[in-house]
Each structure stands twice: as structure tokens, then as C-alpha cells.
Structure 1
Amino acid sequence: MAISLIRISISQCLSVSHPLIHSLRSSTLSSIDESLRRKRLLSSCAPSQLNPIRSEVSFCVGTHLIPHPNKVERGGEDAFFVSNYNGGAIAVADGVSGWAEQNVDPSLFPKELMANASNLVGDEEVNNDPQILLKKAHAATSSIGSATVIVAMLERNGILKIASVGDCGLRVIREGQIILSTSPQEHYFDCPYQLSSEAVGQTYLDAMVSNVELMEGDTIIMGSDGLFDNVFDHEIISTIARCRDVVEAAKALANLASNHSMDSNFDSPYSLEARSKGFDVPLWRKILGMKLTGGKLDDITVVVGLVVSS
């Protein structure tokens, strides 16, 4: 896939053998609305596309990536992979842009990290453990740089295993409710944990690890911080409820994040966190009733996975 594409949408049912790499309010839904949403999403993965012998459940995935406006020419600094291994594996890595100050391309490390993870996902030593996958992929990465990263691996029995370092995130949505949400790891505001080429830094041992049992119809939202810094959870829920399939959902979420990131008046998750950490407008602006608002310009990667019965 050409990296010159700026807005990219991909869909695949993960029981189809085609691993993919690219650098690339809230009210509870009624049972009727949720049933319709499931039918719409499930219809995007026709049964004829699935291997009924291979697994009990698997992922049907849609992705969308929008680079930072100033990084369009080189495709941004996010990378991801999607694999059909076992019930499916998905991952996102976000390159740390500060490396550009040392004349290092920040996109190289996350790209290589994701390529290595994709190649190693079926390794016998990994044994369906995303934390070990991070260990081996990190050890195999020779590029200079660093990245935040999250990996999720679905077993055939429906158990989803997650390992993350930094502020890439994941949500599991069931019947209009978030039943699992990962938490970002930060040294301090805007300085997340990261895997690095440097000897001093985080390793796979610092990863946050969690497991959850999934059901047919559950939706997984994975993304770089460009998504979660700009879109609230209730917006994620309402957006996917309106979408017909995983491709449309991923694109809608990425576009919503992009729009919010460029809106200086939007009181985003990022601006809320900044104010909570003591960052705000000057005192004279506060006296006038102003406050720090706005989204965060960033690379935006969204992966939407629907759990389907095989």
C-alpha cells in the first residue's frame, strides 16, 4: 500500500489470511438500536468470508489514518498492523516527535517495531502473549527513536489479551457501554512511557497488561493518542452507533478527531487534562472568563474491530 495515501480506510475479516502493515451525553443505546447496530456491523463481514472451522470468534477490522497536517508528505509518525493470527491481532505505535530535533525521522522506529511485531506474532515463544510480543519486537528493532505502543491479541475462545506502553489506548464497547478502557502511562503531562532505542527507558516489563472475555458483537476501538486526546468516550459510542460497518466507523472516528484537533474552541479531553495539571491561560484572561481550550494536532490512527462468530 502506497504511503502517499493520506486518508486510508481498510477493512478485512481476520479469518481471511491477509496480514496488513501500514505506517500509517452519552445515553445508553436502547436494546433495539443496539440490535440494529450489531446487524449492520455484522453484515459487513459476510459468513462466506469466514472460516467456520478456524475459530469460535475472530475480528472484522476497519482502519483509518490521518497524519498531522505538518507531516502529510511523509505519512505521519504513527504505524499499525493487523494480523489474522489466531482470532486476530491488532496493534498501534505512535512515534515520539521529539527525535526530529536530533535529525532523526520519528516514523522509522514505530514502523520497524510494527513490522517486527507482525512478523513475530505467530512465534512459538510469544505464545499468544502480547507482552512477550512487545519484548521480542522491541529487541528486534534497530532504528533510532521511540514510540508508545499497544497490542491486543484475540484467542479463539474470545479472550482478548492487551499490553500497552504509554498513551495509545483501547476501548471495548458492549451494548452501548464501555466495559474496558486502558489507562495512559505518563512520567508527567505530555511525556508518556515509551519503548526506545536508548538503553535507559521503558521495556515490556513496564507494560500495562489486561484481559477481557469478548462476545460476538463487541466492538474494540484502538488508537493513538490523536484519537483519545480529541474524542470523548461518549462521542466514540454515539459515532459507532450510527455507522454501518467497521470501515465507516474507523473513518468517522478519525475525521471527528481531526475536526476537534483543529477547533480552538473545543474543550477536548486534552485541554481538560492540561488544566487539571495546572496549564491554563494567563491570569488576565482568566479574569475575563477565558480558559485553555482546543484540541491537539497530532497523527490520528483508528482501528475498529468487530467480534464475529466464525
Structure 2
Amino acid sequence: MSMTTQAVRSYEVRITTGNRRGASTTAAVYVRLIGKYANTQRIEVPGEFTRDTTVVAVIKTPHPLGRIRIVEVGHDNVGDLGVGWYLESIELIELKDSASTHRPQEYNHHQQHRAAHGTMPAHQIPNLQEGDVVRTLMFPVRRWLGKSDIGVGNYPTSVQLRVGIADSMTDPTSFMLPGAQLIKGTKAEPFFIKCGAAAFPHPEKVRDGERGVVRPDIGHAGEDAYSIATVRTPDRNALEKLGKLRAGSLVKSKLPTTVTISVCDGVYQWRDKGIDAGEWSRYLSRMLLYQGQHHVRDPDAQDSIQSERWTQSYKDLGLLPPLVPLAHPSAMLKAAEERIRETELLGSSTACVASLHGLDNMMFVACLGDSGVLVYRKSMGVIFRTPEQEHAFGYPFQLGHHDVSDHASDALVSHCRITSGDVVIVASDGLFDNLFESQISKILDKHMDTRNAQLCATELASEAYANSVSERMETPYSQAAGEEFNLVWCGGKKDDISVVVAFIVDK
């Protein structure tokens, strides 16, 4: 039988593991390509999938797959420590054909067919020339596959990424779990926000007689600080005069409030140099409180923030922009950073800012460092959580007076659609290092009926404090440290703990 020359299709796949605690995996990672005419088998990708690294491999298929529709990536969930994997992104580059031979009757493009494949170590892959590339597909994933090694959940070990279909999973500015978004076009029902806070100093500071300061609008404990800025939205008559009221959308004289929550965690190590980083975090928190109370916007916000981050985010979710222009958390953080750099304060601090909008069912977030935001929905569990930003284990991103400090522009900016019944937590790493998501969820469930935010925040901080002083308790920190240093680690992490809880209610 005669032989016919047929093109061999090659794809370069670049798989990036996220830069967060517990992100690496020891399990075998695979990729599967699903095209218009044919699929590949699950192709194991060689390499070490460690934190903040990219593994590159080449997949060759002797039969054309047609236009790629789905890229499936996952792992076999087999291994000792470090099986869970945080996948940051995957990039698929379709290369130009190379010649090969095969028998034409071995392939019928009208039938599903599993293509042959091969892989190549990254160091053997030549640099791509501009003429080598046919098409590039980029998927920002940002999600866990399998059981997280730092206790943030147990998720499916694989994910299918569909070409040309955007959802929360491939949205680079959202950390919601797939399916957690409200359906686009769903009517936004106004809600109200009930907040409470708790602040516990480091156990050694408690032993020395130090206590946390908790007030309705601002508080602190050790180097931690928080603020809660509540703004009453203009009443109906004022909005009508401004011509900004949507016809028939509101029937009450008072609109739901907007609440901006911030948590700042001063870096303790400055004490070794005689510097109290708590002064930096407390000043930063006061500046963020002022920003939230007065809706102060950056002079360029109308162009850079309002248009790009407010308006586009609302359009993406099928909503109209907010009635009243408000400062985006990233603009608040930028303004606060500029103010504190004008002072002579020394030190540094992480910062996390979340703005909750009762009228538009939206939350916008800007986080720098390892403080974070979590959203819990009783019917689904944790639906949203920001990842920590670290240069290395225990070295978070931070605003500071020193030259190598980070900036507000480095913050992760995200958004989440929330609704009545949700619970929002903004907290320092003292909470998330010492309580698993399952433990946090259990405490939240206890308070869903009474919705006593103050009592709930206090119980969360108390449980985290108890775990932090334990030498035997398994905690998210002990799991992350065990994987990072490849040893058995037990107990919690002694730290300041600040927690702000916001219950979303319909009246």
C-alpha cells in the first residue's frame, strides 16, 4: 500500500504553577487536547511543578485534531506530601506542521480518534520564531486542583478549559470558584451590611499585658490594624435631583449603605531594628478609613479607575455601573500609600481593602500581601478567596518606607458578586494560618441565624488564637511549612489576629 505524506501537528504547552503557599505538586500532571475532529489521550507532562515555575513540553499528534476546543489539565492525585496543586495558567501554542508519514486509512477525520503523542524536556525545546506559531491560546486558571495543602478546600483534580468561553474560572480578576457567580442578568436586590470585628495580639504580647483595641470603625492589636468605613448612600430625592435614579429600581427612601473594610498587618521583624511597624499599619488603616468615608478618588480615577475597573467589571457581569461614583479599593490604597510616604514613619505593612456595595450587589477588592478576603455562601460553602502574595515563604508583599518595598500598583485587584445571606471575612494571616476553611465555615454556620457579626468575629479570632498556641494541632501553616521545608511540622503560628465579619442581609 502506498504511503502518503501527512502533516504532524505539534503543540507547545506551558504550564505555570502559582506563587502561593502549597502551590507545588508531586503528583503526575497530564494534559489532554480536544479538537474539532479528534482528541489526544491524557499525556503526562514531565517536569517539576514547583511554586512559581513554568514547565514547557511539546505534544506531537500524527493526526490533525482540527481547531482546539477544550484543553484539559489535571493530575493523578498520587503522592505523599504536596499532592494538591495551584494552577496559575496554561498556555497552548500551535506550531506549524512538520512532515511525517502514515497510512491514510488509519485515520478517519469524521470519527473520534485518540492521537499518538510525544513529549520533550524543556531544555531541548528550541526558541520559537515568529513564523513557527500558528495560534496561541492563553488560559488564566488560578485555582486549586485536588486537596489544597494549606487547607483551603478539596477540589476536583482536573479542569476543562474551553476556548472562547469566558467564565469566572478564566477571569484574571476574579477568584470565585466556578459556578459561584450569580447568573448574568439576574436582578440585583439591594442589601444591607452588618459588621463586627475582633483583634487579638500575639500570645507573647498578651502575656506581657497587651490587649487589642476594638471599635466600630477602627481597631488594632499588636502590629495589626483594621478599619470599617460605612457610608450612607444619598437618599432618593437627592438622586432624583441629580438625575441618577434608575426608573422604578428603588422604592425606599434610604438606599443600602456602602462599607469599605481594610486590614493592615505590620511586619513584626522591624522590631529587631527598633522600629514599631504597628505605627505604620495603624496610620495606613486610618488613611484607608478616611478614603472609605469620603469616597476620595485619585485625580485620574475617572479615566484609569472608574472607566476600566468599575464600568467594565459591571458590564462583564451584565450590570449597570453604580449610581454614585465611588473610589475603587486600588485607588484608595494608592492614595493612602502616597499620604503615608509623606510622613517620617518607618516600617512596613501588608494591606487588604474590600468595598461592599449594597445597592449593586458587588464587592471590589485590592489585596497586597498575605491578609485576605473570604466569602461564604451557606448553600455552596466558600465561593471566593483571595490568594496571598509572597516573594518567598513568610515574606509577603508589603508597603513600606524602604527602597525594596512594594507598591499599591502591585496589589491583586479582584471583584465578586454577592447577595443577601453571604458572609464576607476580611482578616490578617493570623486567622488564615490557624484555621482551615472547614473550621471557618463551621463557625459561620453557627451564627447564620442570629447574624451577630461581633460575636462571630470574636469566636473566629478566639479559635485562631487557641490553634496558634497549640504545639500539636494541624493547621494551614503547619501544612504549608511542612511542604516548604520538606519536614513534619506541627502546631499553629503565633501572630496578631484581626478579623472583620460582614453579614449581608436584605433588611
TM-score range, shorter chain: 0.7 to 0.9
Asked if residue 215 in structure 1 is aligned to residue 414 in structure 2, the reply is no
Q: Partners in 1 of 2:281 and 2:437 — Cα distance?
A: 26
> Which has the bigger relative contact order, CA under 8 A and spacing at least 6?
1
Secondary structure of the residue aligned to 1:84 is strand
Aligned 8 A contact 1:223 1:302 in 2: yes
Match of 1:110 among 263, 281, 285: 281
Instruction: Compute the RMSD of aligned alpha carbons.
Output: 1.9
Residue in structure 2 matched with residue 9 of structure 1 by the alignment: none
For 1:57 and 1:146, the matched residues in 2 are separated by 36
Matches within 5 A, 1:67-78: 67-72=201-206, 73=210, 75-78=221-224
1:277 partnered with 2:484: yes
Instruction: State the partner residue of 1:252.
Output: 459
Q: Does residue 159 in structure 1 map to residue 362 in structure 2?
A: yes
Write the letter of the residue equivalent to 1:99.
W
1:123 and 2:299 equivalent?
no
Task: Give the deviation of 1:61 after TM superposition.
Answer: 0.4
The amino acid of 1:173's aligned partner reads Y
After superposing the two structures, state which structure 1 stretch, 143-152 or 56-65, moved more: 56-65
Query: How far 1:295 moved relative to its partner?
Result: 0.2
For 2:281 and 2:486, the matched residues in 1 are separated by 29
Please give the alpha-carbon distance, in whole angstroms, between the structure 2 residues aligned to 1:56 and 1:128.
Answer: 19
Deviation at 1:279, TM superposition (A): 4.8
> Is 2:265 the counterpart of 1:58?
no
The alignment's TM-score, normalised by the length of structure 2, stands at: 0.47
Partner in structure 2 of residue 302 of structure 1: 499
Segment drifting more, 192-201 vs 156-165: 192-201
Q: Report deviation, 1:185.
A: 0.6
Q: Is the 8 A contact 1:160 1:211 kept in 2?
A: yes
Deviations 1:144-203 (A, max 9, x none): 111111000012311100000000011101125111011001111111111111233211
Establish whether residue 136 from structure 1 lines up as the match of residue 335 from structure 2. Answer: yes
Report SS of the residue matched to 1:107: helix
Q: Distance in 2 between matches of 1:224 and 1:99?
A: 18
Task: Indicate the structure (1 or 2) with the bigger Cα radius of gyration.
Answer: 2
Of 212-221 and 82-91, deviating more is: 82-91
Unaligned 5+ runs, structure 1: 1-24, 28-54, 281-290
> Which amino acid letter does the alignment assign opposite residue 254 of structure 1?
A
Report deviation, 1:273: 0.3
Contact 2:371 2:429 survives alignment (8 Å): yes
Assess if the C-alpha contact under 8 Å between 1:151 and 1:163 holds in 2: yes
Please tell me the residue identity of whatever aligns with 1:226: G
Verify the 8 A CA contact 2:390 2:396 in the aligned structure 1: yes
8 Å contact from structure 1 (residues 239, 253) kept in 2? yes
| TM superposition shift of 1:135 | 0.5
2:285 is the counterpart of 1:81: no
What SS does the aligned partner of 2:277 have? coil
The whole-number CA distance in structure 2 between the counterparts of 1:124 and 1:138 is 13
2:428 and 2:499 in contact (8 A); partners too: yes
SS of equivalent to 2:485 = coil
Contact 2:264 2:281 in 1 (8 A): yes
The normalised TM-score by structure 1 is: 0.76
